[in-house]
Amino acid sequence: MKRKSLHSIEWVLFIVCAAALLLAGGISGRYAAETAVSDALPEPVLEPRDRIYGVAVVDDGTVWMAGSNGKVVRCVHDGGCMVQQTGTVRHLQDIAAWDARRAVAVGNNGLVIVTRDGGASWKKVSTPRSEISNKLFKVHVYPGGRAWAVGEMGMILRSDTWGETWQRRSDERDLAWNDILFTDTLRGWVVGEFGSIMQTVDGGMTWCAVPSPVQSSLTAIAFKDRLHGVIAGLSGTILTTIDGGLSWHKVSGQVTQEHLLGLAWDGAEWFSVGTGGVLVRGDSSGRQWRADRLSAEELLWHSDIAVTGARKYIVGGTQGTWEKGRWKLMEYN
């Protein structure tokens, strides 16, 4: 009986130890699996620390965004967003795209990068440079591979090769151009510091100063047709034209005291965004404007806006969409 009892006890201990080892192995295996999955997690598309300075939308609904530390995000219609490897950590100030495959981004220290394969690869290209300063603020693209970019030291650059090569089309001067726009192959405008406006009527071969009613810096320009345009600027500045940009007039009254940085026409209204979460809207005539905020909680700055249908993509200190009167932040994952 005594030997039988000892045998029974030894058998029970064996079962307990075996169960413990199996349990430990299961926990270890699960932990290892979870660790492997965690290590393989993809980079977040957007993070709270991101600063996105430029956004562009092409006809098929593809959205391109560019910003701090060389970050480019590409979103496809109903297909999600992906961070792209650009090969640079310099801040990108703007991005523009001809289509879902061809795009160009510009940024600090004269940086220009281009892609021909939807962002699967990006290539740095050389540009004319100043010995003083070279930051590029804005880039716009046009049919046939044409592109224009502007920046510090009076820089106005043109490309006819899908952004692969660039030529300077302005004299160097101690002034920054903040935006450029062409309404056709010949007529275009640049706007910049100290209320400066210039116009070309020969495709950028020559530029002439246009009288400006303000001294504050101008940040963005847009036209809804050949005659009617709007310029936005610091301290709530809004200028309008009804004669194709030959003359500009300041909107009466103080629409907002916030700085306006991004501007777009959506087919029915003008929209401008800027500091403090401001959203300024103007009617079709450009005479009536009202200021609001994207939301009561949104107080950060926004530097660019792009329109696709009823949706506006707005980027800056936070990224989101404005649609049917509602501000919706993009997901940080």
pLDDT at position 331 is 80
Q: Both 10 and 152 in a single domain?
A: no
For residues 31 and 83, membership in a common domain is answered with no
Task: Work out how many domains the chain is built from and give that number.
Answer: 2
Do both 1 and 120 map to the same domain? no
Task: Give Cα separations from 273 to 88, 219, 263, 300 (angstroms).
Answer: 28, 11, 7, 11
Reading the chain (333 residues) residue by residue, the pLDDT tens digits are 334 343 444 444 444 444 443 344 443 333 333 444 445 556 679 898 999 999 999 999 999 999 999 999 999 977 789 999 999 999 999 999 999 999 999 999 999 999 999 999 999 999 999 999 999 999 999 999 999 999 999 999 999 999 999 999 999 999 999 999 999 999 999 999 999 999 999 999 999 999 999 999 999 999 999 999 999 999 999 999 999 999 999 999 999 999 999 999 999 999 999 999 999 999 999 989 999 999 999 999 999 999 998 999 999 999 999 999 999 999 866
Identify whether 183 is part of a domain. Answer: yes
Domain shared by 262 and 198, yes or no = yes
Q: How many residues does the chain have?
A: 333
Q: Are both 35 and 59 inside the same structural domain?
A: no
Number of Cβ within a 10 Å radius of residue 251: 17
Question: Which of these, 277, 281, 286, 187, lies nearest to 229 by C-alpha position?
Answer: 286
**Structural domain range at position 321:** 52-329
In a domain, 56, yes or no: yes
Q: What is the pTM of this model?
A: 0.86
pLDDT of residue 18: 46
pLDDT reported for residue 39: 55
In this structure, are 22 and 132 located in the same domain?
A: no
Residue 46 belongs to some domain of the structure:
no
Number of Cα atoms under 13 Å in the Cβ half of residue 307: 17
| Amino acid at residue number 71 | K
- 72 within some domain: yes
Do residues 58 and 36 both lie within one domain? no
For residues 17 and 90, membership in a common domain is answered with no
Evaluate whether 265 touches 223 at the Cβ level (below 8 Å).
yes
- Per-residue confidence (pLDDT) for residue 41, from 0 to 100: 59
Shared-domain flag, residues 66 and 24? no
Same domain, 126 and 247: yes
Q: Is residue 47 part of a domain?
A: no
What confidence score (pLDDT) does residue 44 get? 78
My answer on whether 301 and 320 are in the same domain is yes
Q: Which two tokens stand for residue 217?
A: 């810096």
Vertex 92: Cα angle to 208 and 44 (nearest 5): 150
Instruction: Indicate whether 19 and 153 sit together in one domain.
Output: no
Dihedral of CA atoms 66, 175, 140, 208 in degrees, nearest 10, equals 170
User: 219: Cβ–Cβ under 8 A, 6 or more apart, which residues?
Assistant: 178, 179, 191, 232, 233, 234, 259, 260, 261, 262, 263
CATH number of residue 247's parent domain: 2.130.10.10
